[in-house]
Amino acid sequence: MRRVFAPSLLLFFSACGENVTHPDNAPYDAGVIAPLQCVPNLDGVIEARELKPVLDTAVKYIVSPQGTDRSVDVAGAVDGSGTRTWDFGINLASDQSLSLTATALSGKWYASSFPKGQFTTPFDAAHTLEAVYSQDDTALWLYGLASTDPSPAEGKTLLVYSQPVAALRFPVMLGSTWTETGNVVNATLRGLPYAGQDTYVFTDVAVGKLVVPDVTFSQAHRITSVVTSVPSAGESQTTRQSSYFFECFGEVTRATSTPNETNDDFTTAAEVRRFGL
């Protein structure tokens, strides 16, 4: 048996010898690792530089189905150490996937109606409406809404505020509150003439730990908003929302109340969005 295998072993080791005709390869170059554009510093406030919009990058959320109410605990619970926790970590079989992407305003059919706008994001989960924004060191400014399609089956929407609304004021910090009024005239809502006024009341009510199915955010800000829409003709409607923001990530969870809810700590949501796959 030794004589049979000896030649094979000799050929194997010979094949592994130095190849004097092959040039030396250059050492492996790992390149330079690009630094992260934003790293949370968990200092209790969210500055404008920590919420810079990133365009053309999809962000995935888990969303409750259209027309399905959900039980929620938007207030959260405080443990013995004083830490408030909002637990949105339960996966439900009816949950659906939602992908949202911020895009540049230029090229949109409605761009000329918002000369100071910079970018847009889907306003609703169905992507039928888009919200127009800009951002500076003082605020995230909302200019209005427009239908994604210029000629949708339900009719075109184009709502332009006479003056932009501060959807966030920087720095975001516990206890801050602000009120905004958006007036709309000569507008179009689902193909019909529209005029009205939207009043927003925003409050940063708490900071705590937010749990979602795929990750935990250690220092999230809960910002409540109360939006009262009063059309020139028809009934007014009030909607309450709890949004949870985290440095560098932006809004990571949102719970929206059923129409005309009266309690900021509502327990039934018309829609719940959570950061996750």
3-state DSSP assignment of residue 113: helix
Q: Are strands 119-122 and 103-104 parallel, antiparallel or unpaired?
A: antiparallel
Tens of pLDDT, residue by residue over 213-223, are 999 999 999 99
Q: What is d(CA 120, CA 101) in angstroms, rounded to the nearest whole number?
A: 9
Overall average pLDDT of the 228-239 stretch? 96
**Which residue is listed with tokens 């409050």?**
203
Q: What is d(CA 113, CA 192) in angstroms, rounded to the nearest whole number?
A: 17
* Stated pTM of the model: 0.87
User: Cis omega before residue 259 (within 30°)?
Assistant: no
Q: What amino acid is encoded at 63 in this protein?
A: V
Residue 37 lies in a domain: no
Tens of pLDDT, residue by residue over 175-208, are 999 999 999 999 999 999 999 999 999 999 999 9
Domain that residue 108 falls in: 59-275
CB-based contacts of 104-109 (< 8 A; 24+ apart in sequence): 104/55, 104/56, 105/132, 108/146, 109/146, 109/150
Q: What is d(CA 269, CA 72) in angstroms, rounded to the nearest whole number?
A: 7
Residue 173 lies in a domain: yes
Count of other CB atoms within 10 angstroms of residue 268: 13
Tens of pLDDT, residue by residue over 110-137, are 999 999 999 999 999 999 999 999 999 9
- The closest of 247, 272, 228 to 62, measured between CA atoms, is 272
Phi, psi dihedral angles at 97 (to 5 degrees): -95, 140
Residue 259 lies in a domain: yes
Tens of pLDDT, residue by residue over 149-170, are 999 999 999 999 999 999 999 9
DSSP single-letter state for residue 49: G
Residue 24 lies in a domain: no
Contact assessment for residue 154 and residue 132, using Cβ atoms and an 8 Å cutoff: no
Tens of pLDDT, residue by residue over 26-82, are 887 767 666 667 999 999 999 999 999 999 999 999 999 999 999 999 999 999 999
Residue 194 lies in a domain: yes
Contact assessment for residue 102 and residue 53, using Cβ atoms and an 8 Å cutoff: yes
Phi, psi dihedral angles at 235 (to 5 degrees): -85, 145
Q: How many domains does the chain have?
A: 1
Two structure tokens written together for 262: 């009266």
Residue 5 lies in a domain: no
Report residue 143's pLDDT band, with 50, 70 and 90 as the boundaries.
very high
Q: What is the pLDDT of residue 258?
A: 98
Residue 49 lies in a domain: no
Q: What is d(CA 66, CA 109) in angstroms, rounded to the nearest whole number?
A: 27
Residue 97 lies in a domain: yes
Q: What is the pLDDT of residue 23?
A: 66
Q: What is the pLDDT of residue 277?
A: 84
Q: How far does the chain reach from its first CA to its final CA, in angstroms?
A: 59
